Structure 1
Amino acid sequence: MQSTNLKFIFDHSAAAPGHQHDARVFSESLLCQRLEDGWRPLPQGVLLGDSGYAMRDFLQTPIPNPQTPAENRYNAAHKRTRSRIECAIGQLKNSWRCLSKLRVKDPAYAAEIIKAVIVLHNRRMDQNPEDLPAPEEEQEDQCPPEEMGTTEARAAGKQKQNELINFFVR
């Protein structure tokens, strides 16, 4: 997770072995379980995911084929907000090149390295945020949506998305 000031938050999972889509790692995380159980650190807040994520009331995805001006505005706002997150991830990777070449057999050890880098990154953001390199352009994942969870959870996600779309009608 990441905050609006481009710092990373420590409710994360860095222990998934191998190369897995973020949506799968998230769906198997303690954070996802807590959110599924109703925990909300920010009651009106939502997480944003790409089209590979399963939509929930706490996690919103883009609309695949927007039909109305409000849906187009929703998608534009979703994309702008997610681009800040992608930018922060790019800055993290560019600042700490060891992450791109991290080849460790023990996932727990790799997780500790990633946590340490995140702590150093956040301290650097506190000390001198202008000193960060420009991020490399990240490609959005084009994966089929996760279809995990109940029909009720997907319906609650769609209801929340409709509330957000209605905000863009104004």
Structure 2
Amino acid sequence: MAYNPTDDLLLDWVVLRFLRRCSAMREEERRSTRRFWVHPIVAERPRRGHFMNLYADLRQHPDKFHNYVRMTVTSFDRLLADLRSGLRFQDTNMRRSYIHFIISSWTVCLNIKCIFFFRFLATGNSFASLHYEFLLGVSTISMIVRLTCEVIWKRLRPAVMPVPTAEDWIRISDGFLDSAQFPNCIGALDGKHIRVKKPAHSGSQFFNYKQYFSVVLLALADSDYKFIIVDIGAYGSSADAAVFRASRMGERLRSNQLTLPEPRCLPGSTGPPAPFIIVADEGFGLSRHVLRPFPRRGLDERRRIFNYRLTRARRYVECAFGILCSKWRVLHSSIQMDPDNVKKVVQACVILHNFVRIHDGASDGDVEGQHPTASIPLDNTLQGRPGVAGLFVREQFASYFVSAEGVVPWQMDAISGR
């Protein structure tokens, strides 16, 4: 009997059909034996859920509401109005799988999302804990947290953290001159480690000098403790000089794309115009637009005064980090998400920080200046030799701070420890 290739093809087809049928039967059996389609605890959400039993009462007591969601009732309603269109999912086939849990009232649905989302940020509670509080599925909570972070970043960023213009830089520098007596300063720069769980297959990339896994939040803050520019997601093992050098902020500063104003004379001075600068700690490289303190060895009085004046301006970013983490305590704990989603959570926290500062101002819960945060460690191997332009600018400011035009009456007492 002659060999016929068609017989092999037919046999393969029959075997494939049989295997597919067996797989479908197993899947059908698994579904039919599923214990619950909707768990009885979750089904009790309209009657026993945390939101249903607490939200209306919280709105009657503004101080309790502020403590619960970290903002006033007015700001919460304004935020809800800004995010409404982005959070009202359309009932498409793509989203039908997770829209079934929503209560019929759209208003209640949006409030539930925002309330438990802010509860997550304000406490750092796990998704499992929120599941028992709000009687929502863990996977549903995870999806809504991720999508809400994306909507907050896209919808609110242009309003609360816009790209600075030359006029904005001048306004920021005027704020530093009034509050810190540091002229031509357009921001305080520093980095903060955000604790995360160890990402899979990451080796030691995220392992920092404090012996835990983290990503880096690099931020430039103004004198009102608001963030101007942020860069999030660098490896925790990286030093701040490397993070800044690789960030978009650093690239735009080096290529003169930050629309900085033209240099201007320091107040009361008749000397050469000074450039607008960023103040930072020893972990950053010295350049024409980034000033760091003089090395601590062999300081004379003039250099000690400069270091003191620079520290007074740089503390604003430290305080901004303290306020951020005190309000959104998810940043105090290890965020149990992958790095991409951790970045979205931190982005949302930064935007909400600015939103609350703009609409609510300072509150009694703020801890300005009381809990300075630790910056990224100094790695001398990544510093490089400071440029001549940076050395000249630093000497120009140091001379100004001891001149009759730039001196402040308390600086001698401060450096002498009195």
TM bin, normalised by shorter chain, reads 0.7 to 0.9
Amino acid at match of 1:130: A
| Cα drift, residue 89 of structure 1 | 0.8
The residue type paired with residue 23 of structure 1 is A
Write the deviation string for residues 4-50 of structure 1: whole angstroms up to 9, x where unpaired.
Answer: 211112x3210213353333211110111111112343333211111
Q: Which runs of 5+ in 2 are unaligned?
A: 1-219, 262-274, 404-418
> 2:239–2:379: 8 Å Cα contact kept in structure 1?
no
Report which of the two has the higher share of helix. 2
Distance across 2 between alignment mates of 1:63 and 1:104:
40
- Closer/same/farther in 2, CA of residues 40 and 74 from structure 1, 3 Å limit: farther
Residue segments in structure 1 that go unaligned for 5+ positions in a row:
none
**Where is the strand percentage greater, Structure 1 or Structure 2?**
2
Please, which of 338, 352, 373 is the counterpart of residue 138 of structure 1? 373
Aligned-partner Cα distance in 2 for 1:19–1:140: 13
RMSD: 2.2
Shift of 1:123: 1.1
Q: Percent identity?
A: 23
Match of 1:147 among 377, 383, 393: 383
Letter in 2 for 1:42: L
Q: Which amino acid aligns with 2:399?
A: N
What's the offset of the Cα at 1:140? 5.5
Q: Which moved more, 1:117-126 or 1:39-48?
A: 39-48
Do 1:93 and 1:100's aligned partners in 2 also have CA atoms closer than 8 Å? yes
Question: Residue 116 in 1 paired to residue 348 in 2?
Answer: yes
CA distance in 1, matches of 2:247, 2:375: 21
Q: 1:162 corresponds to which residue?
A: 395
Q: Which residue of 1 aligns with 2:251?
A: 33
The corresponding residue for 1:90 is 322
Compute the displacement of 1:103 (Å): 2.7
Q: Is the 8 A contact 2:277 2:288 kept in 1?
A: yes
Counterpart CA distance in 2 for 1:124 and 1:106 is 27
Q: 1:54 aligns with which of 273, 277, 285?
A: 285
Which structure exhibits the higher relative contact order, with contacts defined as CA atoms closer than 8 Å and separated by 6 or more residues?
1
Look at both structures and tell me which one has the larger radius of gyration over its CA atoms: 2
Decide whether aligned partners of structure 1 residues 61 and 30 sit closer, same or farther in structure 2, where only a CA change above 3 A counts: same
